[in-house]
Structure formats: structure tokens, C-alpha cells
């Protein structure tokens, strides 16, 4: 892979920041430290809707219509969108569903604005172009247009004039068909019934094929894919003024910044790497204990969900740093540190490091790390940063929550620390992978205070941070409705694997208070919370 600090006409490289906690450049990062107490927040669990489908992705992404008080939830288990009535938030009731087989295999995402519901639908052939499909809030079809391969996320701009689709473009399992990742921009302010494929603007990343990549961005393939094919747009956030989109390129460890009006990429920000010789984490599932400590490892942030919030007249972008690899039959970058040949100069204690109780079990990549090309690995990388981060409007990282998530769980939930989301009392099960695995994320104002809600896919529940000072957010609380005494397969274990999180403003809520909607994919359930 090529790295450069130079800017090009096609895009300007926004370098990540460096300080004591990362190897990114041009930034001083504040890690979660003691400071004035955050404002208190009351989280009141209310109603839920349970599909009874265990570990089938039966509740993935929610959207909410404030007029009808309906929640639209992607149900991957039966390839539909469930329509739930939330007029009484104490009792969620399913009142219908939208079947999607006429337009493809299944929906991956749903969004609502006005009286329009938009769904991102992948084709039966995952590598073929998908569809953006539009319905009214009763589920009646309006229009459908063609977008890129594997549309993974769909979002309206706040002004309702455009719909954006992140087309992930994943390869097939043989890794001999790898579509280019892209972002579709669809104008929707006119008569939707007249919408056609000709109206769709495609933002592609072909310009990256011919330039040096920004520091902190990466690719991973066997040398058969272009950079544009390697780019996999995952999630979209939009600025309050509807002018700028921020797109997480998860597997690439980067964020693309797009001008919506011109449909152009104006910047790609590499996120850099988290220095785990400073930021501690638990690296082994075979040591029989909680062991949060520093290691000679660089963490790749690799955010999944990304969200934007305006604070003090400025746009701030938040990322849930889950991590992900490219792991297919035809090509896999995944291995464990114990299987690497480590450079004897960089790692003179390699034999000790590679024991299972140390770093040997940690999942790592073969796509990066051999910096001098001599066949051994000079740097060890891990997937995800086990944290959330804050970026400014230019894509510079200004805050990361460090090791706060794991430290909190160790201190307060030690018996179920880094548990799996499908088995209870699976203590330490995920330490060798991505720990608590932050994935979902939502932001919003409660009684004038901006908050971030970060869902932990494996551990369950969500962290809450006060964003009043976005360069140094303050931990508020952790809330979980997972029941470790229950049976996950019998649906008595509560909420498992929060996937999609949606903030509802007080003015739109049936309670008059702000609310949070959480869709949990393993338990196949959707639950709502009153916030005050």
C-alpha cells in the first residue's frame, strides 16, 4: 500500500491526529479523564416488540415516523420490514410488514422522512446492483431506483431533499467478483412516482486507484482488486445543514467526506491507529482471567455506525469503532498473532508474546504489518478500537474513549466481562477478538444537553456520554436490559446484540420526552426508552 502526505485535486488528504494515544497525525487527542461530572440522565425502559426469532437478524435497523408514531424495523429473519405502532410506547404492537422480494433478496436499512419510507435492498446476486425502494408509511409502493452493489445503509438528509445510500460492494466468497464501493445520492424533493434510474447520482472512489492513500487508510486484498473495489462504504452521517455527508469506510479504516450538492468526495480521512502500548485492552480468551494491560499492538479503529451532531454551531462526527476484516474462502486476511512470524528486532520477546495467554490468540491481519517486505511482521494490528471517537468537521480525531469500556465492564460486570451475545456466562469469550464490540451509535439532545449512546454488540447494553464538550465527552452511565440469568434461545435473556439505535427528539415523541429506539439482532427485539 502507498501512503503520502500530499493532497490531490481529486481529494485532500486529512491526516489523523497524533498524541500520546495514536499514531495518527496533526491532532492532540483527549482520552477519557477525570473532569467535572456529567449531567444526570434518567433512562426509563418502556415497551418492546419481540419476533421470537433467535440469532436471525430479525431486528436490525429502526426508523421512526413522528406523524403516525410508527417504527419501521428491518427484519432480516423473514426478509421484510416490520411496522410497529408506538403510539403507546409501553406496548409496541406489530401492525403490518413490507415484503421486499419483488425488488431483491432483503432490506439492509430503512429510513423515514415526512410520509416516505426508504429501504436499501440488496439483489439476490449480492455483487449485482441493488435498489432503493420507496413506500408510504402504510407500506404502499411508490418507486424504486437502481443503486450500487450491496446497499447497506440508507439515509435522508435532514431537509428531506436527498436520500443517500452506502453501497458496500462486498466481494463474493470466491473473491473473484469484487464490485466497487460507492455512495448513491437520490433527489427526492419532486414527485417520487416519477423517480427513475437517471436521477441517481453515483459517488465512486476510482480516483483512489491513481493516488497515494492518506495515512491511516488501508486496503486488504490478494492484489487482484483496485482500491475502488476495496473501498466498502458502511454507514452515513449528514450535517445539520444537509450539505455534507460523512461515510464510514469500515474495512479501510477511513471516513469519506462528500459534498452532497455536487456529489463529489472532497476529502478522505485516514483514521490512523490506536497505540495499545498506551491504551490497555484484554487480548486473550484463554488466560482464565480479566487482564486489561498494555501490549505492543496497533488498533485499527474501523468504525461501523457514524453519526453527526451540531454542538456550539459546529458539526461533530462520532464513530463506533467496531472493527471488521475481509474473510472469505477465496481470500482471508484474518489470522492470529500466534501464527505470525514476528520480526526478531521489533519483537525480541516474540515467544512470550505469542503464548495463548498473552497475544497468541488475538485476531490480527496479514494485509499490513510487514513494513520492510522481508516476510516477517514488524507491527501487530488488531481489529477495532473498543471505543468511540469524536471527529471534527474535517475528519480529524479530537477524542477517543480509550480503554474506558473494558475498564468499566471489568469493574462492574466482571463475571460476564467480554461475553458473547449468544451465550450467557461466556466470560472473556470475546477478548481475543473485538472485546465488547461497539457498533450502534445515536446522538441527540435531552433537555438541552447533547448525548451520545453507544451500543455494545457483544456485551449488550449501551454507554452514555455527555457531549457538552465534544473534545472531552464525559461518561454518564451504562444501561443494559440483558439478563444473564435467562436463556438466549428461549428469549428470556432480554436484549442481545444492539445493532441499530435511533434517537427520537422530544417534539416528535409520544411521551413528550426524548426517546431511544434500540433494535437488537440476536434477540430479534425492538425496545424503546424514555429519556429525561
Q: Which superfamily is assigned to 3-31+44-531 in CATH?
A: YVTN repeat-like/Quinoprotein amine dehydrogenase (2.130.10.10)
pLDDT value of residue 425:
84
Q: Is the dihedral of CA 339, 340, 341, 344 positive or negative?
A: negative
The average pLDDT across 278-286 equals 97
As a whole-number percent, the residues of the chain with pLDDT over 70 amount to 93
36 is written with which cell numbers?
A: 467535572
pLDDT value of residue 313:
97
The average pLDDT across 54-58 equals 97
As a whole-number percent, the residues of the chain with pLDDT over 90 amount to 92
166 is written with which cell numbers?
A: 452506502
pLDDT value of residue 398:
98
Residue 380 CA neighbour count, 13 Å, CB half: 27
Give the tens place of pLDDT for each residue, 6-25. 222 233 333 223 333 444 44
Give the tens place of pLDDT for each residue, 402-450. 999 999 999 999 999 999 999 998 999 999 999 999 999 999 999 999 9
| SS3 label, residue 248 | strand
The average pLDDT across 145-167 equals 98
Give the tens place of pLDDT for each residue, 204-231. 999 999 999 999 999 999 999 999 999 9
| Residues in Cβ contact with 198 at an 8 Å cutoff, skipping those fewer than 6 apart | none
225 is written with which cell numbers?
A: 482488486
Cα 489 to Cα 472: distance, rounded to the nearest angstrom:
40
The average pLDDT across 116-139 equals 98
Is there a contact between 442 and 502 (Cβ–Cβ < 8 Å)? yes
pLDDT value of residue 439:
97
Is there a contact between 282 and 358 (Cβ–Cβ < 8 Å)? no
Cα distances (Å, whole numbers) of residue 518 to 243, 410, 439:
27, 24, 12
| Closest-CA residue to 205 (of 197, 213, 196) | 213
| Residues in Cβ contact with 20 at an 8 Å cutoff, skipping those fewer than 6 apart | 29, 31, 275, 278
Cα 174 to Cα 489: distance, rounded to the nearest angstrom:
32
Longest dimension (CA), the chain: 67
| Closest-CA residue to 438 (of 287, 248, 208) | 248
| Closest-CA residue to 130 (of 155, 158, 100, 157) | 100
Give the tens place of pLDDT for each residue, 177-209. 999 999 999 999 999 999 999 999 999 999 999
Cα 455 to Cα 436: distance, rounded to the nearest angstrom:
9
pLDDT value of residue 171:
97
DSSP state of 208: G
pLDDT value of residue 21:
41
pLDDT value of residue 331:
98
pLDDT value of residue 251:
98
pLDDT value of residue 30:
40
**Residues paired with 111 in a beta bridge:** 118
Indicate whether 37 pLDDT > 70: no
Give the tens place of pLDDT for each residue, 488-511. 999 999 999 999 999 999 999 999
DSSP state of 199: G
Cα 101 to Cα 111: distance, rounded to the nearest angstrom:
18
How would residue 39 be classed by pLDDT, with cut points 50, 70 and 90?
Answer: confident
The average pLDDT across 448-462 equals 98
* Pairing, β 93-99 against β 273-275: unpaired
How would residue 36 be classed by pLDDT, with cut points 50, 70 and 90?
Answer: low
pLDDT value of residue 12:
32
Report the mean per-residue pLDDT for the chain.
93
The average pLDDT across 511-517 equals 98
How would residue 162 be classed by pLDDT, with cut points 50, 70 and 90?
Answer: very high
Task: Decide: residue 204, CB within 10 A, 0-12 exposed, 13-18 middle, 19+ buried.
Answer: middle
Question: Residue with C-alpha cell 492513500?
Answer: 213
| Closest-CA residue to 516 (of 450, 423, 453) | 453
| Closest-CA residue to 386 (of 409, 365, 411, 368) | 409
Give the tens place of pLDDT for each residue, 465-494. 999 999 999 999 999 999 999 999 999 999
Question: Residue with C-alpha cell 431483491?
Answer: 104
- The predicted model scores a pTM of 0.93
How would residue 40 be classed by pLDDT, with cut points 50, 70 and 90?
Answer: confident
Amino acid at each position: 500500500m502507498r501512503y503520502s502526505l500530499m493532497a490531490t485535486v481529486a481529494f485532500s488528504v486529512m491526516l489523523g491526529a497524533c498524541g500520546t494515544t495514536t499514531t495518527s497525525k496533526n491532532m492532540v487527542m483527549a482520552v477519557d479523564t477525570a473532569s467535572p461530572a456529567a449531567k444526570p440522565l434518567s433512562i426509563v425502559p418502556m415497551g418492546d416488540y419481540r419476533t421470537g426469532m433467535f440469532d436471525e437478524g430479525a431486528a436490525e435497523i429502526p426508523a421512526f415516523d413522528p406523524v403516525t408514531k410508527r417504527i419501521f424495523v428491518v427484519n432480516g429473519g423473514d426478509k421484510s420490514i416490520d411496522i410497529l405502532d408506538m403510539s403507546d410506547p409501553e406496548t409496541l404492537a406489530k401492525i403490518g410488514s413490507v415484503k421486499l422480494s419483488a425488488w431483491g433478496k432483503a432490506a439492509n436499512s430503512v429510513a423515514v422522512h415526512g410520509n416516505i419510507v426508504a429501504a436499501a435492498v440488496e439483489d439476490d446476486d449480492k455483487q449485482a446492483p441493488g435498489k432503493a425502494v420507496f413506500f408510504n408509511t402504510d407500506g404502499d409502493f411508490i418507486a424504486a431506483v437502481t443503486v450500487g452493489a450491496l446497499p447497506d445503509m440508507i439515509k435522508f438528509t435532514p431537509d428531506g431533499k436527498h436520500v443517500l445510500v452506502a453501497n458496500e460492494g462486498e466481494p463474493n466468497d470466491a473473491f473473484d467478483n469484487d464490485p466497487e464501493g460507492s455512495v448513491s445520492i437520490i433527489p427526492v424533493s419532486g414527485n417520487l412516482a416519477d423517480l427513475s434510474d437517471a436521477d441517481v447520482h453515483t459517488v465512486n472512489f476510482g480516483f483512489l486507484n491513481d493516488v497515494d492513500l492518506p495515512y491511516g487508510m488501508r486496503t486488504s486484498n490478494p492484489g487482484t482488486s483496485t482500491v475502488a473495489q476495496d473501498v466498502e462504504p458502511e454507514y452515513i452521517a449528514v450535517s445539520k445543514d444537509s450539505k455534507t455527508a460523512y461515510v464510514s469506510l469500515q474495512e479501510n479504516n477511513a471516513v469519506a467526506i462528500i459534498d452532497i450538492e455536487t456529489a463529489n468526495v472532497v476529502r478522505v480521512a485516514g483514521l490512523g491507529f490506536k497505540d495499545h502500548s498506551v491504551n490497555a485492552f484484554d487480548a486473550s480468551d484463554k488466560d482464565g482471567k480479566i487482564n486489561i494491560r498494555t501490549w505492543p499492538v496497533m488498533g485499527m479503529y474501523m468504525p461501523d455506525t457514524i453519526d453527526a451532531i451540531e454542538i456550539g454551531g459546529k458539526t461533530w462526527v462520532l464513530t463506533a469503532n467496531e472493527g471488521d476484516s475481509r474473510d472469505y474462502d477465496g481470500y482471508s486476511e484474518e489470522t492470529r498473532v500466534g501464527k505470525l512470524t514476528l520480526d526478531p528486532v521489533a519483537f525480541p520477546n516474540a515467544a512470550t508474546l505469542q503464548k495463548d495467554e498473552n497475544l497468541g490468540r488475538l485476531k490480527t491481519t496479514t494485509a499490513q504489518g510487514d513494513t520492510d517486505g522481508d516476510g516477517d511482521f514488524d507491527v501487530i494490528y488488531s481489529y477495532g478500537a473498543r471505543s468511540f471517537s469524536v471527529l471534527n468537521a474535517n475528519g480529524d480525531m479530537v477524542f477517543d474513549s480509550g480503554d474506558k469500556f473494558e475498564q468499566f465492564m471489568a469493574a462492574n460486570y466482571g463475571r460476564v466481562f467480554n461475553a458473547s451475545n449468544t451465550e450467557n456466562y461466556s466470560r472473556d469469550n470475546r477478548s481475543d477478538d473485538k472485546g465488547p464490540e461497539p457498533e450502534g451509535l445515536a446522538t441527540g439532545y435531552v433537555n438541552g444537553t447533547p448525548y451520545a449512546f453507544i451500543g455494545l454488540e457483544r456485551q449488550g447494553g449501551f454507554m452514555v456520554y455527555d457531549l457538552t464538550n465534544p473534545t472531552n465527552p464525559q461518561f454518564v452511565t451504562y444501561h443494559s436490559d440483558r439478563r444473564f440469568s435467562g436463556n438466549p434461545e428461549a428469549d428470556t435473556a432480554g436484549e442481545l446484540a444492539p445493532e441499530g439505535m435511533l434517537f427520537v427528539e422530544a417534539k416528535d415523541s409520544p411521551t413528550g420526552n426524548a426517546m431511544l429506539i434500540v433494535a437488537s439482532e440476536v434477540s430479534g427485539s425492538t425496545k424503546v426508552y424514555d429519556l429525561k
